[in-house]
């Protein structure tokens, strides 16, 4: 699954800290008495001051957070908490000052910047003294708890990354349940100060909601939705519309997967007509089912190759995998990555210290100091993740000449979709061209290839949608700490058709077992990215002159695609996302029809397989 976090200095949704788009260190633009109506000149001066200070503070904070993510200890946690508090305090100050210009008739670019300043805080703290510091401490503590929690299995401490891998290889339901349950003990374990992640999360929501209300939003969820150039309620309806376009495909996939798991485990473990046990789907969070391909794939439609085996047979290491990803972008006409990328990135997990292994792409100076941070393993998943993370880096570099407030994706989904669009071009033809495959499998293997893709991408879509739906319910008060877990599993059953392997009562905080919850990374971007990547892919294939089935298209080597693609990337966030979408695809409307077209052969096959089965849950 390519839904990895990125840290970009001008990204409004940065995950590692609660920094604002408009953050500054110990000073800010000069304050003037608020006498009389504000003027356009005052607004311009204010924006200039914010952007000037942000250039300095953004790099300072990014470097501290890089050190914290790659050397986790008490001191770097302290530094990360301190810089997050500084950034949040100034972000709150700037956001509240920006409200002065709400009713002023401003040029479009200035108005957009003013709105970005107000929306730039990921988690806004209220202006009262100490609130920003407390919020930063909570966020740092939750992130550190997630990254450093220890899990015992069979009498040994097991690395979290190894447990994730085990979920994809173990086939014993009892062992899978044990791993699944122990992973979720971390969010309810007490920290050194006696608090738990669940208690921290509740307090975080309380503080951030107070800050959002001061900025004029109903709650944090409404504030997050407002970032998408649409009114919050309209944006929520738009995500529902997109889900309805692809839901029939998910329903057919779910029906087939459950039937095959029933054959593997029997009625006692996988009863027909009921939600599927979450721990049986090959992934710690049941967000990707790719690891159970061997259990559910068509018997006569094997993909024809095992990419992990191919990589290992040709002695790929982590660096070579990243070099291969770079070569793809070079084939589209992009300049090579800077030498500092190779000198400063964390490509493999260090042996001597705690680090955040969650894959991420970083832009430390808003110019050329771009990096990735991964604990890369030589396998198919990380091969595609490399392409995804590099997509972030190339996007970051493309918009580096935009003003600081516009150095970000057209919306959050754009940033996530860029690399995934490239990964859709990792077809058998591409693998043959770069020497990983000797012969391209014929069309009879396509159902197997599409099944493998669907188990990763289609299975993810409802998860990508419900993550923020849960948070929206937390932020608007519909869910309380006593109902956090119940609300979580209600949504997972409603959208995914899955259930926990054991009864989970109100004591648990199962949402905290997913990095993006304690990390406060808004997740709707990933759902949108799974729509946009196919829409981008279809547009790119048309530009490349491809006339065959969409799932067989690779744009590797197409300079024409690269030129138009880069033109969209260079826009950054300077224009509303419908304009950026139109610049590359020729339409300003997000559309799930490209997903439907891509998987059309698989949909037909699934409907045939499911004939006579009891579908739904």
CA 29, CA 390: separation in Å to the nearest integer?
Answer: 35
Q: Which of 369, 372, 371 is CA-nearest to residue 359?
A: 372
Q: Which of 500, 223, 209 is CA-nearest to residue 201?
A: 209
Q: Which long-range contacts (CB under 8 A, 24 or more apart) does 180-183 make?
A: 180/278, 180/279, 180/284, 180/500, 180/501, 181/501, 181/502, 182/151, 182/152, 182/153, 183/151, 183/284, 183/513
Active-site residue flag, 263: no
Cα-based distances in Å from 317 to 2, 329, 445: 20, 19, 28
CA 288, CA 109: separation in Å to the nearest integer?
Answer: 40
Give SS3 for 215.
coil
Active-site residue flag, 339: no
Contacts of 12 (CB under 8 A, 6+ apart): 21, 116, 119, 120, 122, 227, 408, 412, 573
Q: Which of 43, 51, 45, 47 is CA-nearest to residue 104?
A: 43
> Annotated catalytic residue: which of 51, 177, 389, 416?
389
Cα-based distances in Å from 51 to 119, 224, 406, 557: 15, 22, 10, 38
Contacts of 381 (CB under 8 A, 6+ apart): 1, 290
Check if the beta carbon of residue 234 is closer than 8 Å to that of residue 592. no
**How many other CB atoms are found less than 10 A from the CB of residue 330?**
14
Check if the beta carbon of residue 495 is closer than 8 Å to that of residue 518. no
Check if the beta carbon of residue 70 is closer than 8 Å to that of residue 62. no
> Annotated catalytic residue: which of 392, 516, 530, 537?
516
Q: What are the beta bridge partners of residue 153? A: 156
Check if the beta carbon of residue 478 is closer than 8 Å to that of residue 491. no
Helix axes of 460-475 and 232-265: crossing angle, nearest 10 degrees: 130
Give SS3 for 498.
strand
Q: Which residues are catalytic?
A: 389, 516
């Amino acid at each position: 699954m390519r839904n990895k976090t990125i840290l970009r200095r001008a990204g409004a949704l940065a995950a590692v800290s609660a920094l604002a788009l408009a953050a500054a260190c110990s000073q800010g633009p000069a304050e003037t008495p608020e006498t009389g109506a504000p003027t356009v000149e005052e607004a311009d001066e204010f924006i200039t001051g914010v952007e000037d200070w942000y250039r300095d503070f953004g790099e300072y904070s990014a470097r501290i957070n890089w050190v914290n993510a790659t050397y986790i200890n008490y001191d770097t946690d302290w530094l990360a908490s301190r810089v997050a508090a500084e950034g949040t305090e100034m972000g709150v100050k700037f956001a509240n000052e920006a409200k002065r210009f709400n009713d002023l008739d401003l040029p479009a670019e200035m108005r957009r910047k003013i709105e970005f300043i107000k929306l730039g805080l990921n988690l806004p703290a209220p202006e009262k003294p100490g609130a920003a510091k407390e919020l930063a401490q909570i966020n740092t503590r939750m992130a550190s708890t997630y990254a450093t929690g220890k899990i015992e299995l069979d009498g040994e401490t097991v690395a979290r990354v190894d447990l994730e891998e085990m979920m994809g290889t173990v086939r014993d339901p009892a062992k899978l349940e044990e791993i699944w349950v122990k992973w979720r003990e971390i969010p309810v374990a007490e920290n050194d100060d006696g608090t738990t992640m669940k208690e921290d999360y509740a307090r975080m929501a309380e503080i951030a909601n107070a800050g959002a209300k001061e900025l004029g939003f109903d709650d944090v969820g409404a504030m997050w939705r407002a970032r998408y150039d649409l009114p919050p309620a309209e944006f929520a309806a738009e995500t529902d519309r997109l889900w309805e376009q692809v839901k029939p495909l998910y329903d057919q996939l779910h029906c087939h997967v459950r039937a095959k798991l029933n054959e593997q485990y029997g009625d006692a473990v996988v009863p027909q007509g009921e939600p599927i046990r979450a721990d049986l789907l090959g992934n710690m969070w049941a967000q990707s089912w790719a690891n159970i391909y061997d259990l559910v794939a068509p018997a006569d439609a094997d993909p024809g190759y095992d990419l992990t085996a191919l990589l290992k047979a040709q002695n790929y290491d982590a660096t070579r995998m990243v070099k291969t990803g770079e070569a793809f972008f070079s084939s589209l006409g992009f300049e090579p990555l800077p030498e500092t990328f190779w000198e400063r990135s964390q490509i493999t997990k260090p042996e001597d210290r705690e680090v955040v292994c969650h894959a991420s792409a970083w832009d430390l100076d808003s110019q050329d100091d771009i990096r990735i941070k991964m604990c890369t393993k030589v396998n198919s998943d990380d091969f595609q993740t490399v392409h995804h993370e590099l997509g972030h880096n190339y996007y970051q570099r493309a918009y580096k000449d935009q003003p600081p407030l516009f150095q970000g994706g057209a919306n959050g989904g754009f940033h996530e979709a860029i690399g995934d669009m490239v990964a859709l071009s990792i077809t058998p033809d591409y693998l043959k061209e770069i020497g990983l495959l000797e012969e391209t499998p014929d069309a009879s293997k396509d159902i197997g290839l599409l099944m493998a893709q669907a188990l990763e991408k289609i299975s993810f879509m409802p998860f990508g949608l419900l993550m923020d739906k849960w948070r929206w319910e937390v932020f608007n008060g519909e869910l309380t700490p006593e109902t956090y877990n119940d609300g979580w599993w209600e949504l997972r059953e409603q959208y995914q058709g899955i259930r926990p392997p054991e009864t989970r009562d109100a004591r648990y905080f199962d949402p905290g077992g997913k990095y993006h919850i304690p990390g406060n990374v808004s997740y709707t971007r990933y759902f949108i990215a799974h729509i946009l990547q196919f829409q981008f892919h279809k547009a790119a294939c048309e530009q490349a002159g491809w006339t065959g089935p969409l799932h067989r298209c690779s744009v590797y080597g197409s300079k024409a695609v690269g030129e138009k693609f880069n033109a969209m990337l260079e826009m950054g966030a300077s224009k509303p996302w419908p304009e950026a979408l139109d610049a590359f695809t020729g339409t300003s409307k997000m559309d799930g029809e490209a997903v439907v077209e891509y998987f059309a052969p698989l949909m037909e096959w699934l409907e045939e397989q499911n004939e006579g089965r009891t579908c739904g849950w």
